[in-house]
Structure 1
């Protein structure tokens, strides 16, 4: 059962990849310096939040196959992971809000607001999942398992929400915005973390 929960949650890190998978071809026209400065303010927020969300996914994956884990320990791990995800997405939404519309991009304000709204919505959803986990009955193994099942199906919905968030970010990261982000070392750091094999943090 817990494997389902882990699978439903592992989509979390994918969203950050959309913000950090920045590559740029050589010999292209340089993006506007104002846009480069905008990209820096967004990209600089990515690595710490990417690490936080990745770590939350890893901690859930690590306990997903442990059938002997006491409910109280499982509850603590899930609650912390959901809290970290809520915090991570909130910080990314705040970074986009703080950066404002990308300069010189047609319809940039709407694209930026859509992406930010999606991230903020994900943060709220993970905070709700944490609340649900906090309220589970850890004294009764059967009740706890049933409660986790509900959390798993709810987290599946959050996974779908994450997919639309990824699409919103990809729409924002087109053309000149993508080029400007490709110039940011902080985006490259997150992109190289993404290239690491999944599950490497779950040993033990």
Structure 2
């Protein structure tokens, strides 16, 4: 029985098409999964920032409970909180969005740290139960923010490795997956603005 070159060609073509389809299907699903992880970790960062925002009114109330507080310092903190609350962006983990969020949070943290410096002048206030409890909550929140930012950078790195690595970079180009940026060195996790209490 003679070999049929046409049949071999079509069989080879079908196998190649099937392999390409499997490659593009698995690459696409992998990138979608990693992109969703980036979004999830970004939302976790936002959630932790929101927790910080939610604790700021308690800080203001605690300081106001003192008979002698610096009104201008508290006013700046309240204004910084309002500005940061307006920029609480969820979902879209774009570099522009988290740059805006970081700038607003840096202002909030600077104002909160000024209020804490004022509190240092009032030893009686520092030992009240409400302040000690608030201090614990804020310190816990700052730790959570650090972990969330690290998780976000890790998710961005894993996503970028897939998008930039060959041959998945071909599928990334076909389906429009772009490289994402994580927190940069100037506002990276080791230099992130943080509410700090002196012991």
User: So what's the TM-score if we normalise by structure 2?
Assistant: 0.41
Q: Determine which structure has more spread, i.e. the larger CA radius of gyration.
A: 2
Q: Pick 1 or 2: higher relative contact order, CA cutoff 8 A, min separation 6.
A: 1
TM-score scaled to structure 1, two decimals?
A: 0.40
